[in-house]
Chains A and B, each alone.
Chain A
Amino acid sequence: MVGQAEKIEAVAERLGARAGGGRSLWADARRRFLRNRAAMAGLAILVFVALFALCGGFFAQWSNEELDYMVMGQVAELGGPSLETGHYFGTDDLGRDLFARTVQGTQISLAVGVIGALIACVFGTVYGATAGYVGGRTDGIMMRLVDIFMAVPYMFVLILLLVMYGRSITILFIGVGMISWMEMARIVRGQTLSLKGREFIEAAQATGVPGPVIIARHVVPNLLGVIAVYATLLVPLMILTESFISFLGLGVQEPLTSLGALISEGAGTIAYGTMWQLGFPLLFFVLTLFGFFFVGDGLRDALDPKDR
């Protein structure tokens, strides 16, 4: 009996594997994603950038705050990238190790991107799903509000906020997320509207499940694919926003730094021939953005049935 049960289990497993591999939305999407060469390249780039941000610190010979007095004042001549001095990426204008600073900047830029996108996603999803599910006049008012919010040049408002409440990194994280939930809300609302008439929602309503629970249990899980796609595409936009503000000198403050702040410093000194100060931060900036865009596009191709 035991042997038979095992055999049945094995058969069931094989069947399940075959059926799951062929039919489940996620398995299907994974296969499509793995076949997409641009997306896989993007993923490889992202893994590299993430490893650099997480483990780069172990390889740095200098900390990000130490000043190298040997190169100070002669950064253009002595501060270039070299293995001997331990400044793999050279030094910045003050003689700080650019490798360690780029690691730190990448960490902060990634953190802002991911956390900002997360905030925008959570807020946009809750808002959009509520508007779509409740419908009627509430929906009209909520979406009209989104229209109004979308017509405001947010960068100015965000800078206004940053200046008023001190340029803390928390405000930056939250602000960057809060200015970009509207697009998400629109997409989620549209998808919710098309889900609302389905039988399983009707069944839940018929059995007396309260609205918020239906949204959380039945609507949002069915939107996860779309949410994942737009979340991935939001991350590079968040990084761009943060870098923009930091480029103007209004974002993260010393001793913290971000890729945008490093690019700004590098861009200010190109006239002195210190190309590496612009080059290395720019390289990681461009790599990160490319990675996220490619992965996001790949996810969209894999998960969004409309675009196929």
Chain B
Amino acid sequence: MLTYILKRLAVAIPTLLLLIVVSFVLMHSAPGGPFTAERELPPEVLANLNAKYGLDAPLWRQVLNYVWGIVAHFDFGPSFVYKDRSVNEIIAQGFPITLTYGCLSFLVAVTVGVSLGIAAAIRQNSWLDYAAVGVSIGAQVLPNFVMAPILVLVFTLWLGWLPGGGWQGPEYWILPVVALSTSFMASIARITRSSMLEVLTQNHVRTARAKGLPERRVILGHALKPALLPVISYLGPAFVGMITGSVVVDIYFSTGGIGKAFVDSALNRDYAVMMGVTILMGALTILFNLVVDILYGWIDPKIRY
């Protein structure tokens, strides 16, 4: 197991370094520096600015400094637009919010999705099954940026039950979480349903039934674990999708999460903040994929380390 984890780590760390270096080089190959935006600066001022932000050193040295800053001090450097704020401060402000509703959405998507999928598979061709299949087809064409305005329209403007934006208490969490989790919940339900249906026809399930186990134990004790394998391998892409979707949630619900900082920096051409957020999200994704791989190896006895 340890060698397996180490092997995965051996892939994860170069991936992360590659992401950092590539985005850094991209940033530097962009036409125009960060200070050439509105008006022409006198060359002395520009030289001073470049010196202050360390942009006068050769590229390889800048990359090394940047990587070293992140690895050693977890420091993403200063923002190029807000002179008095560092990228760390901007991230620290929004990240807890994103993390809160992100984790909630993930929990909702997995628990509701898996239970719905199991229920649909057990009662195949019942109304519940049709409802689950219908929802999962419908949710394919209702991504978060479509769900968000529809939810606000129904629950805020028509019914007036829930606030349509802001971040002040648990009632503000509901709409963002629903908007973010629905399409993933539907995908997880679909995947669980089809893999459960397949597992239920297998020999070991028939054996379990033949020895007279109650249906509940057959499902939960024997069928669930193998049926979850495709779900687990979907969790990685789902995580990426949710991270991306959080940007929409932050914009539409004004939750003040990290996505807002990202879009603002994109509109301001604040490369430092954009890179910081990209690298942070990339690191989270890679870390999460690592966890998924380990989980997979633990649950599937066929995988040898």
Q: Mark B233-266, 1 if CB is under 8 A from A, else 0.
A: 0001000100110011001100000000011001
Query: With a CB–CB cut-off of 8 A, which chain B residues contact A285?
Result: 141, 146
Q: A271–B26 contact, CB under 8 A?
A: no
Q: B146–A270 contact, CB under 8 A?
A: no
Distance in angstroms between the alpha carbons of A244 and B247 in the assembled complex:
10
Q: B145–A243 contact, CB under 8 A?
A: yes
Within 8 A of A (CB), among B1-43: 11-12, 14-15, 18-19, 23, 26-27, 30-31
Which residue of B has the minimal Cβ distance to A246?
B145
Query: With a CB–CB cut-off of 8 A, which chain B residues contact A271?
Result: 157
B277 interface residue, CB < 8 Å from A?
A: yes
Query: With a CB–CB cut-off of 8 A, which chain B residues contact A250?
Result: 263, 266-267
**Residue from the list A152, A163, A247, A248 in contact with B15, Cβ < 8 A:** A152
User: Which 5 pairs between the two chains have the least Cβ-Cβ distance?
Assistant: A267-B149, A164-B30, A289-B141, A156-B278, A155-B244
Q: A152–B274 contact, CB under 8 A?
A: no
Q: B14–A148 contact, CB under 8 A?
A: yes
Q: B31–A156 contact, CB under 8 A?
A: no
| A304 CB → nearest B CB, Å | 15
Q: List B residues at the A interface (Cβ < 8 Å).
A: 11-12, 14-15, 18-19, 23, 26-27, 30-31, 137, 140-143, 145-146, 148-149, 152-153, 157, 236, 240, 243-244, 247-248, 251-252, 262-263, 266-267, 269, 271, 274-275, 277-278, 281-282, 285-286, 289
Query: With a CB–CB cut-off of 8 A, which chain A residues contact B282?
Result: 151-153, 156
**Residue from the list B142, B145, B152, B262 in contact with A156, Cβ < 8 A:** B262
| B179 CB → nearest A CB, Å | 11
Q: List A residues at the B interface (Cβ < 8 Å).
A: 144, 147-148, 151-153, 155-157, 159-166, 236, 240, 243-244, 247-250, 260, 263-264, 266-267, 270-271, 275, 278, 282, 285-286, 289-290, 293
Query: With a CB–CB cut-off of 8 A, which chain B residues contact A267?
Result: 145, 148-149, 152, 252
**Residue from the list A160, A248, A266 in contact with B278, Cβ < 8 A:** A160
Which residue of A has the minimal Cβ distance to B148?
A267
**Residue from the list B15, B143, B271 in contact with A151, Cβ < 8 A:** B15
| A98 CB → nearest B CB, Å | 16
Query: With a CB–CB cut-off of 8 A, which chain B residues contact A249?
Result: 263, 267
Query: With a CB–CB cut-off of 8 A, which chain A residues contact B12?
Result: 151
Which residue of A has the minimal Cβ distance to B277?
A156
Given contacts A165-B30, A263-B145, A264-B145, contact A156 B11 (CB under 8 A): no
Query: With a CB–CB cut-off of 8 A, which chain A residues contact B271?
Result: 164
Q: B248–A152 contact, CB under 8 A?
A: no
Distance in angstroms between the alpha carbons of A188 and B12 in the assembled complex:
25
Q: A147–B11 contact, CB under 8 A?
A: yes
| B51 CB → nearest A CB, Å | 23
Q: A270–B149 contact, CB under 8 A?
A: yes
Query: With a CB–CB cut-off of 8 A, which chain A residues contact B267?
Result: 249-250
**Residue from the list B11, B266, B278 in contact with A148, Cβ < 8 A:** B11
The CB with the most chain B CB atoms within 10 A, among A244, A247, A275, is that of A247
Pick 9 A–B contacts, CB within 8 A, sort by A: A152-B15, A157-B278, A159-B266, A243-B145, A244-B145, A248-B251, A270-B157, A271-B157, A285-B146
Distance in angstroms between the alpha carbons of A163 and B244 in the assembled complex:
17
Which residue of A has the minimal Cβ distance to B12?
A151
Which residue of B has the minimal Cβ distance to A167?
B266
